Chain A
Amino acid sequence: EPEVTQTPSHQVTQMGQEVILRCVPISNHLYFYWYRQILGQKVEFLVSFYNNEISEKSEIFDDQFSVERPDGSNFTLKIRSTKLEDSAMYFCASSAGTDVSPLHFGNGTRLTVT
């Protein structure tokens, strides 16, 4: 079964550094998402992306965050200047459509900001 893959599985960075989290969605999917889960808290929606633009974003997704689909296969989340509170598990997901098409999640990237 096709999978969403995320790299790296664990990223450690210093506060103020830029990080890029990478995802390869399922190949025929058109909608892409990032969610995150801070340790001990709920999984939260960050952003959805379709047709090369953001279709929706949460309050969390401020100017420090950006997403990009640089080529036909990758989908990236960039955090420009990381803060301690950005430490979390970041999940990428993709779907063939909205509504009745389920999300397929990757295994996540654990980001640790020191």
Chain B
Amino acid sequence: AQSVTQPDIHITVSEGASLELRCNYSYGATPYLFWYVQSPGQGLQLLLKYFSGDTLVQGIKGFEAEFKRSQSSFNLRKPSVHWSDAAEYFCAVAPRAAGNKLTFGGGTRVLVKP
């Protein structure tokens, strides 16, 4: 069965510092890969997705993620965080035959210090 692991439950970063959120997945073949963000009281917003091609994908709000097949990872990065980036971030995968049946990781809550 497919699974998604986000090893960090909480991360605290200073405003302006870089951010990297880890995501590892377990799946028989390369799935579709996603990062979602959830701000307090809000729904899940898609940051970026990987389907195929260039393994470095750019998303909204200055985020990027790199797919590494050899490590079964899809880590999310942002060079300089803003206070508004404080939120919970979810990595998700979906099989290519059912691209919208998502399996989510447990989430990483990001706190931004001034």
Contacts and interface: CB of A to CB of B under 8 A. Distances in A.
Interface string A39-82: 00111110010000000100000000000000000000000000
Dominant SS among interface residues on chain B: loop
Q: How large is the interface on B (under 10, 10 to 19, 20 to 34, 35 or more residues)?
A: 20 to 34
Interface of B: 32, 34, 36, 41-46, 49, 51, 90, 92, 96, 98-107
Interface of A: 4, 6, 31, 33, 35, 41-45, 48, 56, 91, 93, 95, 98-108
22 contacts: A31-B100, A33-B100, A35-B102, A42-B107, A43-B90, A43-B92, A43-B102, A44-B104, A45-B101, A45-B102, A56-B101, A91-B43, A91-B44, A93-B44, A98-B100, A99-B51, A99-B100, A100-B51, A100-B99, A101-B99, A102-B34, A102-B49
